Structure 1
């Protein structure tokens, strides 16, 4: 690849009969060759996006004591706040403070016979002093889920599959995950690693950026390009489960975030649309012409990919948040000694 910038895809073309086929061809090429693109005219209200950014800044401006009241260590569902350097990528600390929100569902009543990943379902933690945060984020979560489903329908058609081919994987309980992220400047971190190089594990990822660049995409081995902020767009990338489902035709691409320069900061808001936790990812049969171009899924040997969505997601959470794993999942290690890479 000699790409120097990410392609720009206009979602309005998908609903235009005169443009739809050309859009699907562009979508297929962008997702296979790079695995990242800008999405414009996505239909999410501009006012809602600004509200999400404003609420995020208000959250990060709260006193540390208030943020600690909703710290992730209080949640067996891996929801809540983490200070910078609390989350690990490939064993190294990521210099970002963040707040994780999932689908707002009640915790399940579990017993020893239930799989451990069912603990992932549960309520979020919300700061009492900022009640508007919950309303705004859940509204944005709903809007982003609709965009994600529309894009999955487009992907299915781009691959000559039935438009609803992926529907059973997310069903009525998709794995909806929001991450509010603030990257401090390098004078605070003494590190360039905002987030270490990694692939996303789910289906689709959407990123709402502010004006500060930092996201970089590895378009070829050792070749990184900046995903420069583009107003009005989301940066979209393919997750490993979608790569797995298409036998590597669609590409999950390694990316990272470089910490902002000294005395600056960066705000980004990520939305991840994943399959329902009780799903198992099949390999879809593509038309012969496309199947010949599939490269097979490229799983990280240090973090092997599992077809069982719940176990795969739990494995990633345990690796990234060892303090939460130690507090709530010790029985998992006793039951499966040496069998999980965490």
Structure 2
């Protein structure tokens, strides 16, 4: 394909829609070829996205000392990620040029699932931005619906039983990273985020008008998604590639911000429940050979190996990092 198609997903909300089958084929073609697509017809208003963007900017405008007080810890991977704190998971290369704020599926302190998996819990909400929780969780809930719609289409396209994918996202480990990329100098080495593949199932992001997201084509070129106003960029992650036996592609991408402006983004990462074992649901393609992964373990290892002094172990799954 060599390009990222734009698809109106309106027909996917109704299996009786006359355009349903065609739209499923379009989604499958994009996911099987380049692993990325731009979508319209989500029913998420531009005002909702703008409120989210304004909220994200306000969070990163917080005083630096207050940010450190709300920073992530090894025990609770929620809150601020300082600028330049993380290197690629395999320990190679220079630190990425972003600051972040990590959020996870919101779970109350007394939720029963916390006794099953220590990775669940309440988020750290910045008191300096009192509207943050309602704005972010409201936006998040709308993306949950979009993800459910897309997963339903992939069930159809892959010939899977209804809800076989979607049921794995009950009490999920879905998470979101708020990101601020200061501008890089024109000839500055390094990346906003290094080339990598997402380790989740499905990623959804409202493109920042500044640009900077680049996707690798099959022939090694880097291209920029052409997303319509009000649209979203979606990409397949390693978990869906594994579920599909290699039919859907988890594709390398990166961020480089040489626009001279501040860049903000807030990707949503759909991840199944902690105890789900992701393994091929169809006979793997002949060249595809990946072991099953445990979602809770994979998530814990991804976050653990982000710390500069941690390294991968023999039991660490492939974590998506790619070398230049």
Same fold (TM over 0.5): yes
Greater helix fraction, Structure 1 or Structure 2: 1
Equivalent residue in structure 2 for 1:194, among 173, 192, 195: 192
Q: CA RMSD in A?
A: 2.7
Which position in structure 1 is the counterpart of 2:266? 269
Distance 1:169 1:241, change over 3 A: same
TM-aligned CA deviation for residue 48 of structure 1: 1.6
Q: Which moved more, 1:269-278 or 1:60-69?
A: 60-69
1:247/1:295 contact within 8 Å kept: no
Q: How does 1:139-288 map to 2 (within 5 A)?
A: 139-171=138-170, 173-187=171-185, 190-261=188-259, 263-285=260-282
How far apart, CA to CA, are the structure 1 residues paired with 2:105 and 2:86? Answer: 21
2:185/2:258 contact within 8 Å kept: no
TM-aligned CA deviation for residue 256 of structure 1: 0.7
Give me the TM-score of the superposition, normalised by structure 2.
0.87
TM-aligned CA deviation for residue 205 of structure 1: 0.1
1:192/1:259 contact within 8 Å kept: no
Distance 1:62 1:279, change over 3 A: same
Distance 1:232 1:239, change over 3 A: same
Any gaps of 5 or more consecutive residues in structure 2?
320-324
How far apart, CA to CA, are the structure 1 residues paired with 2:133 and 2:186? Answer: 29
| 1:131 counterpart SS class | coil
Any gaps of 5 or more consecutive residues in structure 1?
300-304, 327-332
TM-aligned CA deviation for residue 298 of structure 1: 6.9
The runs of at least 4 consecutive aligned structure 1 residues that moved more than 3 Å come to 106-110, 187-192, 294-299, 337-342
Q: How many residues align?
A: 311
Deviations 1:141-189 (A, max 9, x none): 1111111011101110111222212133222x01221111111111499
Give me the TM-score of the superposition, normalised by structure 1.
0.83
How far apart, CA to CA, are the structure 1 residues paired with 2:288 and 2:70? Answer: 37
2:39/2:227 contact within 8 Å kept: no
Equivalent residue in structure 2 for 1:307, among 272, 281, 293: 293
Q: How does 1:1-342 map to 2 (within 5 A)?
A: 1=1, 3=2, 5-14=3-12, 15=14, 17-73=17-73, 76-89=75-88, 90-91=90-91, 92=93, 93-106=95-108, 118-171=117-170, 173-187=171-185, 190-261=188-259, 263-285=260-282, 294=285, 297=288, 306-322=292-308, 339-340=315-316
2:40/2:228 contact within 8 Å kept: no
